[in-house]
Chains A and B, each alone.
Chain A
Amino acid sequence: MSDALSYVYAVGRDLVADDLAELTGAGVGEGDPRLVDAGGLQAVVSDVPRDEFEARALDDKLEDLGWLAATARAHHHVVDAVGGRRTIAPLSLATVYYDDDRVRELLGEGAAAFTAVLDRLDGRAEWGVKVSIRAGGSGSEAPAERPRTGAEYLRSRRQALREGDQAVSRAEAEAEEVDAAVRALAVDARRHRPQERSLTGRPERMVLNGAYLVDVGAAEELTGILAPWLDHPTLRVELTGPWVPYSFAGLEGAS
């Protein structure tokens, strides 16, 4: 047994070595990304150290979180570079096999499923649309008179909370409109969990974190669709992408 494992980034069906030309030195681990070919499918693979992956359970430790962040970035870099040239099915983070023979087995066993995913993603890209409530946009921050009694304080506090709830409800309803408008253009749509403020590092509360699978030719229409929300007084609409369609690569939806 060698000391290296085969880390798989993505699977395609028309990949050639030249597609990886710019990835020398990139990827998870030391080895350069390369292709493993079987039955008309190719996996983008690189060697990673066995001891780094074997029996590893990531924990909420500084070292592990740094490892996860670096691995995610390296994985994404490889997927993004190859996905810019060819249709690929990106794999979830940290999919590792003992060696290239096991990867070839995987390509053989999963050929039909991979082909279905590639058919679905061909000529399409993923876009992200995030809707947040602008900080201070609820408009209910007028300083009230200083409460004289505890009951008064509680009453004004309850009202502030109620107004905050209403602002969130309104924003959520409007985010549904944004979602519906983009869905009308999209081939498929998914929702990710709204990102916590502590994750985004921003004060705005996120009410929609959508992913949309869009035909490459229709991508320019996205900006037009979102334009009406551009200068919205209380909502901030963000477009990210194009992404390799991670959110639409599930095998279960391949039928």
Chain B
Amino acid sequence: MTGLEPRSTSLFGDREVALVDILDRLLAGGVVLTGDITISLAGVDLVRVSLRALVTSIAPADGPATPELPGEEPHALG
């Protein structure tokens, strides 16, 4: 594993992209405009967003609707 392989075969093609990399860009990047409706993200803990995404991605599609997350303390997943 070199870790240096770009994750795509074609420019902007389909690929597996880590949610955390998307959130880096979507929450800190992009053209920022004041829309008619503002959604506050101030209360969001990104650690738990990632955990939630992880749980969702490994849970069977027809599994329990809301799997439990670990408690308040963010857990290292290593």
Residue numbers of A with Cβ under 8 A of B are 5, 8, 11, 53-60, 62-66, 68-69, 72-73, 75-76, 80-81, 83-84, 89-98, 102, 106, 110, 114, 117, 125-126, 128, 135, 190, 192-193, 195-203, 209, 211, 216, 223, 226-227, 230, 236-244, 246-251
In the complex, residue of chain A having the shortest beta-carbon distance to the beta carbon of B30:
A92
**Total A-B residue contacts, Cβ distance less than 8 Å:** 194
Residue numbers of B with Cβ under 8 A of A are 2-8, 10-13, 17-33, 35-37, 39-54, 56, 66, 69, 74-78
Q: List 23 A-B contacts (CB under 8 A).
A: A11-B31, A57-B39, A57-B43, A58-B41, A60-B43, A62-B69, A65-B48, A66-B52, A69-B52, A69-B53, A84-B12, A89-B31, A91-B31, A96-B37, A117-B31, A198-B47, A201-B77, A227-B4, A237-B3, A238-B4, A242-B8, A248-B29, A251-B32
User: What residues on B are CB-neighbors of A190 within 8 Å?
Assistant: 29
User: What residues on A are CB-neighbors of B32 within 8 Å?
Assistant: 91-92, 250-251
B39 touches A76 (CB 8 A): no
Specify the main secondary structure of chain B where it touches its partner. Answer: loop
B25 touches A247 (CB 8 A): yes
Given contacts A5-B37, A54-B37, A198-B76, contact A244 B12 (CB under 8 A): yes
CA distance A75 to B27 in the complex (A): 12
A251 touches B31 (CB 8 A): yes
A58 touches B25 (CB 8 A): no
User: What residues on A are CB-neighbors of B52 within 8 Å?
Assistant: 62, 65-66, 69
CA distance A223 to B5 in the complex (A): 8
B35 touches A250 (CB 8 A): no
In the complex, residue of chain A having the shortest beta-carbon distance to the beta carbon of B19:
A69
CA distance A55 to B17 in the complex (A): 30
User: What residues on B are CB-neighbors of A89 within 8 Å?
Assistant: 31
CA distance A177 to B8 in the complex (A): 26
A240 touches B7 (CB 8 A): yes
CA distance A97 to B36 in the complex (A): 5
In the complex, residue of chain B having the shortest beta-carbon distance to the beta carbon of A57:
B40
CA distance A227 to B4 in the complex (A): 8
